[in-house]
Amino acid sequence: MSDPRSELTVSLWRGAQEGRYETYKVPWRENQTVLDVVTFVQRHLDPTLSYRFACRVGMCGSCAMTVNGTPRWTCRTHVSSVAKGGRLEIGPLENLPVIKDLAADMRPFFDKWQQAKGAFVPSRTRNDEIERIRPDSAARIAADAAIECINCGICYAACDTVRWNSDYLGPAALNRAWTLVNDVRDGANTERLQAVAASGGCHACHSHQSCQELCPQRLNPTASIAGLKRRAMWAYLKGEI
Amino acid sequence: MNVHLYVWQRLTAALMVPLVLVHVAVIFYASRKGMTAADILARTRGSIVWASFYGAFVVAVAIHAAIGVRNVLTEWSPLEDRSAGVLAAVFGLLLLALGARAVAAVVLP
């Protein structure tokens, strides 16, 4: 067994949906991130390794992978905080198809963003006066609390309901819908509430809270989904949707 | 689970909370008083109150459990939504029939 202070034993998923873990030896460094480890393998040990990253500073949401069984943003995850006995097992995000190696296919994730009506629909034109939004209004506070999502897909990969129900829209898409439901400038909230109140929508959530536990932005999609449940339920009882 | 099923499941749950509490209280009362089956039947037979109480209980249970079973089937079995809905509805009707039979046995004169 290698000395965990000088060398890491790293298992990386190789293949597509079918594949296997292959093991590599990577030098241990101070202040080493999981993305650094993957990059070392690709640059020095096996250039055929495929993975995805862009900003390397926790802004773009591209580099999320499954690290020792837990979805994490690899560029901001220090090896010292997750390596067990000098060992790392790194795979693609779960609950998504695998393109190759560590790169998951994010299309289902973003398709559901569209299904949840995650695009802003303006209710005014450029010729109208700009809507004044008070930062201390209840709706704006609710939107602000949920708005810093970077679309990394960690919550989607961590969600048990997504795993069990392929139609479930997932925490990120519903969290996005919640920010728009609280945006008084948006003009499509009836359609949005209809979309999130349908089968596979917010009411399918079991509130396991893996999304809020693992969100690297420390958002709380569970709370957003709970808000959507209430809002959609009252809209349904009033006959609005 | 959609909003329609969600509302029905929550409404029936809200209805069952007081019904369960009263039901448990009745069990404690009957056992602590040492009441026999004949004593209990003497009070329940012909009683519109007990018929309404346990009738509502049975209807709420049948709806609530059927929606829950449908949810379990859609998430944990390979069944499509429609098939899971049909199976869950059959389960709910079975609960309703068994419950109604039990209520009838204790309240019909």
How far is C-alpha A155 from the geometric centre of its chain's CA atoms? 4
Chain B residue nearest residue A197, CA to CA: B3
pLDDT score of A200: 95
What is the CATH topology of the domain spanning B3-107?
Answer: 3 helical TM bundles of succinate and fumarate reductases (1.20.1300)
pTM value is 0.91
Residue entry with tokens 């190759």: A100
Nearest to A104 by CA among A54, A66, A57: A66
Asked whether the predicted pLDDT for residue A5 surpasses 90, the reply is no
Asked whether the predicted pLDDT for residue A6 surpasses 90, the reply is no
Residue B9 near chain A (CB below 8 Å): no
Mean residue pLDDT of chain A comes to: 96
Where residue A4 falls among pLDDT bands split at 50, 70, 90? low
Please give the average per-residue pLDDT across B12-17, as a whole number: 97
| pLDDT one-digit tens code per residue, B30-85 | 999 999 999 999 999 999 999 999 999 999 999 999 999 999 999 999 999 999 99
ipTM, 2 dp? 0.85
Task: Report the share of chain A in percent with pLDDT over 70.
Answer: 98
Type and span of the H or E element at A232: helix A221-237
CATH 1.10.1060.10 residue ranges of chain A are 107-237
pLDDT score of B19: 97
CATH for A7-104 is: 3.10.20.30
Provide the 3-class DSSP secondary structure of residue A152.
Answer: coil
Chain A residue nearest residue B6, CA to CA: A203
| pLDDT one-digit tens code per residue, A98-138 | 999 999 999 999 999 999 999 999 999 999 999 999 999 99
Please give the average per-residue pLDDT across A43-69, as a whole number: 97
| pLDDT one-digit tens code per residue, A170-229 | 999 999 999 999 999 999 999 999 999 999 999 999 999 999 999 999 999 999 999 999
CATH superfamily of A107-237: Alpha-helical ferredoxin (1.10.1060.10)
CB contact under 8 Å between B2 and A233, yes or no, is no
Q: Give the distance from residue A175's alpha carbon to the nearest chain B alpha carbon, in angstroms.
A: 17
Please give the average per-residue pLDDT across A35-42, as a whole number: 98
Q: Which of B1, B73, B81 should one mutate to test binding to chain A, selecting the residue with the greatest count of A CBs within 10 A?
A: B1
